[in-house]
Structure formats: C-alpha cells, structure tokens
Amino acid sequence: MSSALDSSAFKSPVFLFGLTTGIALSAVVQYVLSYVATPQTQKSSLSVPVPAIVPPQTISVPLAAHIETITRLEKDFTINTSMMQKIVKQFVNEMRKGLLSDGQTLKMIPSYVCNRPRGDEVGSVLALDLGGSNFRVCEVILEGQKTRLRQKKFVISDALKNASGTDLFDFFAECVSKFVEEHALDLNVKRKLGFTFSFPIEQTAINKGTLMHWNKGFTSPGVVDKDVVELLADAFARKGLHNIEIAALVNDTVGTLMSHAYLDSQTHVGVILGTGTNAAYFEPMDKIPKWRGGPVPSNEMVVNTEWGAFDNEQIVLPVTKFDRRLDRASPNPQSQIFEKMISGMYLGEIVRQIILDLIGTGELFRGQSSENLQTPYHFETAYMSRIERDHTTELSDTKAVLEDILNIPSTTESDRRLVKRICELVGIRSARLSAAGVAAVVTKINRFDGCTIAIDGSLFAHYPHYANRMRDALREVLGLTAENIVLEQARDGSGQGAALIAATASY
C-alpha cells in the first residue's frame, strides 16, 4: 500500500522519434562481440549467415548454437510492414462495424462523455480506479489546468478477483473508508466521485452501466448484467459512507484521454498498456450510427473501443501455437486475442510457453526445467523488462532471474542470449501491435496533421524501448505523417480523468 502527494503527473515527458539507427548499430556490435566471445570449437558454425528475417530493432543476437531456433522463432513472431498494414486496414473496418451496430467484435462503446475539459475546473473530487492489478482511491484537487492528487493503492488478490460481487464491492467500500479516515476527509460535505471501472460496460448514462463480461482474470459472480454504480452505492450504504455522489462511471481509457486533454487540447486518443490494453478517442456524433441515447450537449463523444477483442476471429493477427496454448488455458478462451498478444498480464506467460517448448525439445537449459517455470503465469512481464535491460557481457542479471528467481539449475551464456532474444521478440511484437491499433484510430479520425496519444499503464511506463518500438512501427505504416503523432506518457491519468469527468458531468 502506498500513499502519495503527486502534482507532477501531468508533466509527462514527450518521447522523441528515432533511435533505430543506434539500436541497429548496437545489434551489429553485439553480433561482432558474440563472434569474438565464441569458443574456438564453435567457430565453424559461425559461417551460418545472420537470419534472413531481421526484425526492426534487433537488439541482441544469440550465440551460434541457437541460430536455427532463433530463426524459427523470428519467423513466427515478426510482424513486418505489410502485415502491419493489413492489420490497420482490418482494424479500421472493425471500428466502423462496431459503430454501426451492437454485438460486433469491437464493441465501440459510447461513453456518454461529450465535453472536452475546459481547463478551468476547480474543486476536490474523489476517484476510484479498478484497473486489473490494483484498486486505487484518490482525492483529486482540480486547480485549473493543474491537479494535485492524494492516493492510496490496494492490491487486488487473486482470491478477491473470484470472490462474490458483494465481497468485491464491500472491499472497495472498505478501502474508501480507510482513505477517508487516514486523510480525515469531512463527509458532512457532499462530494462527487468518479468511478473508473476498466471492464466492458454497457453504458446507459454517465453514471449508469452494466458489466457485459469480466476479463483480465476476474470471474467474480453476481456482477455481470448488474449496474456497477448501484453495486458500489449499496456497498457504500452498508459501510455507512454517506454524502458521496457517484457522478461518473468511466473506463480507464476515457479517464486517461480526458485527463490529458485537460492540459493538451490536441489529445484525441487515450490508450492503456497495463494489465490489459484498450483505447478511447473522440468520435463525431454523426459517425456513431448506432447511437440511440438522444440529444447530447456536443457534436462529438468519447468512444471506448474495447480493442483488446480485436480480431477474436483471428483473420489477420499472426497467432502462434504459443498464443493458442495461452488462450486455451485462460479463463476466457477465444476472446481478447489482441490483448493476449500485447498486455502486461500475458507477455511473460507467452515467454514461459516458448521456454517450456524449447526445454521439451532440448534446445534450452539442456532440457532442465524447474517447478517455478512449470507454474502458469510465474514468469512475470517485469522479468522481461529486467532481461531486456541486461547489458552485461555475460548477461548476469538474466542469470539471476533464471537461476535465482525461477530456480533453473544451470544456464549457459548461449541459453541466456536465447532467452533475451525471446523476450525481445515478444516485447517488439507487443509494441508493434499496439502501434497498429494507434495507427488505425488516427486513420479513422483522420488526424494526421497533429494528434497526441495519452498512454497510461505500467507496461508502457516500464518496459524498455517500448515507446521507441511503437514509434518505429508507426513510421513504417504511416510514413512521414507519423512525425505528427506524439505518444505521451499519462501517469495516473485514469484516476484523475474520472475525477475530472465527475466534476464536469453536469455541463
């Protein structure tokens, strides 16, 4: 649990385009280094050429012993430019279909959020943020294009994800109660609250919506088809929390978009790259033919794409046997296919599936495994970040992850280089697919002349090279116009955005 006073959340760095050349150069240097470092006995096999398919941003090259394995994996995991273009085209088609009628692959949910923030909003608002891994309670103090934030973070246990709906919502009320106590908030004063609930919601008003289905590992019974605002209000009443008006029910993508639009009016898209992945954007009302909600106060509305479900039919996404294994064993098979190839919850598990396969064929760790490695989801996405960041000559940090954390009895340097390459392939594929989603949204709204994409989530924030890999992919599919698309980190955007929407819900 942590509590923080943070006023810097909106001073996010703007990432710059173009590190490809440096990274490609480092690939060459590393290849030469691995050649020099290879023992004499292996030198004959070094005449094996560098694999024909070299994906963009090749960072490390494994020792010769694993060249064949790596060539095979590169074939499966590389998404080249023409595949990206096909994905973008299909994405735009799916978006149009989702805006036309209900029940499509991309749900394209109208959010009831119509007003861009004016930037002069002030006051203290509460916000709750249920992402997938954590639940956060925040007090957001709006000070006109500036915000201050007090927050407390609570971890959601696996048991709670599967507990009854009453237990889950009682937990939320308990967290709010603790926060109110800790910060001595006066509940004699009526307060507005924005509820960020990042699951597919059939929204019927700005503060009303029923859960369509769970994802990201949640199965809690008694919530699907119920209004989650009502469930929260009931839990507040049971806990004796009065005077809190739940003024807005918001998806985290919508919150991220709005909180960033508060300070940068060029922000048209909000993206989440955390436990799951999703995006929201401003769509003109006349491009949402399925809208039946009556007149709205503006000619545009934020649409929550629920893009994690893109291509569940697997028409254009190059799913591998590893993705299929992960999907089959998941609580929601054949759904969220795009999300399962991209987001933090799944990347480590894909790597684990590949490693297990290579142990089975004797291509890794001389066939040795460990109990930890055999345990589903035990290989965390954060380990991939650590491995990708390991630039020691013998990959000693990778050795620590594999031998000390995962308990693999012994690894060779060549094993470690192969594992690092696997992480790169899975990490690069994730970044390129999320870039394809961004390219599709920008294409749909025709904002090639200038568009800021606000991105929240720990994957984007912490995974090395992620932003640059996205930018490289955007440049491949959009050419020079990609230079007008700015990817900005929007930390804590989802909570702050919910507060902002709650504050502005009445105009």
Restricted to residues 322-351, the positions that interact with ligand ADP (CB under 6 A) are: 344-345
Number of residues engaging ligand ADP in binding (CB under 6 A): 16
458 binds, among ligand ADP, Mg ion, none (CB under 5 to 8 A by kind): ligand ADP
Which CB atom, from 342 or from 459, has the smaller least distance to ligand ADP? 459
Identify whether the C-beta of residue 140 lies closer than 8 Å to the C-beta of residue 129.
no
Region of 3-11, 15-23, 60-68, 126-134 interacting with ligand ADP (CB under 6 A)? 126-134
Do 276 and 345 touch, CB atoms closer than 8 A? yes
CA pair distance 484, 237, nearest whole angstrom: 49
Q: Which is nearer to Mg ion, 110 or 131 (CB)?
A: 131
Distances in Å between the Cα of 114 and the Cα atoms of 156, 184, 251, 258, 272 are: 31, 34, 14, 10, 20
Query: Which of 265, 283, 248, 266 is CA-nearest to residue 499?
Result: 248
Task: Tell me whether residue 216 is one of the annotated catalytic residues.
Answer: yes
Q: Are 380 and 349 in contact (CB under 8 A)?
A: no
Residues linked to residue 148 through DSSP beta bridges, in sequence order: 141
Q: 145 or 332, CB closer to ligand ADP?
A: 332
Interface residue with ligand ADP among 151, 381, 452, 481 (CB under 6 A) is 381
Beta bridge partners of 150: 5, 139
- Please report how close the Cβ of residue 456 comes to ligand ADP at its closest, in angstroms: 7
Is position 131 an interface residue for Mg ion (rule: CB under 5 A)? yes
**Structural element, H or E, at residue 269:** strand 267-273
Residue placing its CB nearer to ligand ADP in the complex, 208 or 462: 462
**How many C-alpha atoms does 73 have within 13 Å on its Cβ side?**
28
> Pick the catalytic residue: 107, 216, 399, 444?
216
Site for ligand ADP contains 133 (CB under 6 A):
yes
Residue from 459, 477, 485, 499 that binds ligand ADP (CB under 6 A)? 459
- Residue 382 site contact among Mg ion, ligand ADP, none (CB < 5 to 8 Å, cut-off depends on kind): ligand ADP
Instruction: Report in angstroms how near the CB of residue 389 gets to ligand ADP at its nearest.
Output: 9
Size of the site for Mg ion (CB under 5 A): 3
Instruction: Specify whether 152 is catalytic.
Output: no
110 near Mg ion, judged by CB under 5 A: no
Q: Are 501 and 113 in contact (CB under 8 A)?
A: yes
CB 239 within 8 A of CB 184: no
Strands (E), 76-233: 109-110, 122-130, 134-143, 147-155, 191-197, 201-205, 208-211
**How far is residue 299 CA from its own chain's centroid?**
29
Going through 49-144 in order, the beta strands assigned E by DSSP cover: 109-110, 122-130, 134-143
- Which of 133/166 has CB closer to ligand ADP? 133
User: Cβ of residue 211: shortest distance to ligand ADP, in angstroms?
Assistant: 17
Counting contacts by CB under 6 A, is residue 462 touching ligand ADP? yes
CB-closest chain residue to Mg ion = 131
Residue ranges that bind Mg ion, judged by CB under 5 A: 131, 274, 494
Residue ranges that bind ligand ADP, judged by CB under 6 A: 131-134, 274-275, 344-345, 381-382, 385, 457-459, 462-463
The catalytic residues are 216, 252
